[in-house]
Amino acid sequence: MKRMLSLAIVCMLVFCLTGCHSDVVEDTTQTVSLEGHYIAITIDGVEYHVHTSSVASLTTWYNEYGEPNGWIVQDGEIYTKNKTQKIDTAGMPIDQATLWDGQSFGLIAADSDSNKKNESVINQQVASGDMYPVPELTSVEKLPSFAKNGIGTEAYCYKIDNPNYACSFTMEFNDVDEKALESYISYLEDNKPQSIEDRGNGEYNLIWDWGSISIYHNKSMAIMNTIIGVNRQ
Q: SS3 for 56? A: coil
Q: SS3 for 210? A: coil
Whether residue 144 is predicted with pLDDT greater than 90 in this model: the reply is yes
Share above pLDDT 90 across residues of the chain, in percent, rounded to a whole number: 39
Confidence of residue 21 (pLDDT cuts 50, 70, 90): very low
Q: What pLDDT shows up at residue 33?
A: 60
Cβ atoms of residues 224 and 151 within 8 Å: yes
Q: CA nearest 141: which of 108, 167, 165, 163?
A: 167
Average pLDDT over residues 124-152: 83
Say how far apart CA 178 and CA 109 lie, in whole Å: 34
Confidence of residue 101 (pLDDT cuts 50, 70, 90): confident
Q: What pLDDT shows up at residue 214?
A: 97
Share above pLDDT 70 across residues of the chain, in percent, rounded to a whole number: 79
Whether residue 63 is predicted with pLDDT greater than 80 in this model: the reply is yes
DSSP-derived secondary structure letter, 98? -
Confidence of residue 1 (pLDDT cuts 50, 70, 90): very low
Residue 73's Cβ-count burial label (10 Å; 0-12, 13-18, 19+) is middle
- Average pLDDT taken over every residue of the chain: 82
pLDDT tens for 170-196 read: 999 999 999 999 999 999 999 999 999
39-43, 95-99, 183-187 — which is least confidently predicted? Answer: 95-99
Q: CA nearest 216: which of 172, 175, 159?
A: 172
Say how far apart CA 62 and CA 69 lie, in whole Å: 9
Rounded (5°) CA angle 130-193-19? 105
- How much is the pTM? 0.56
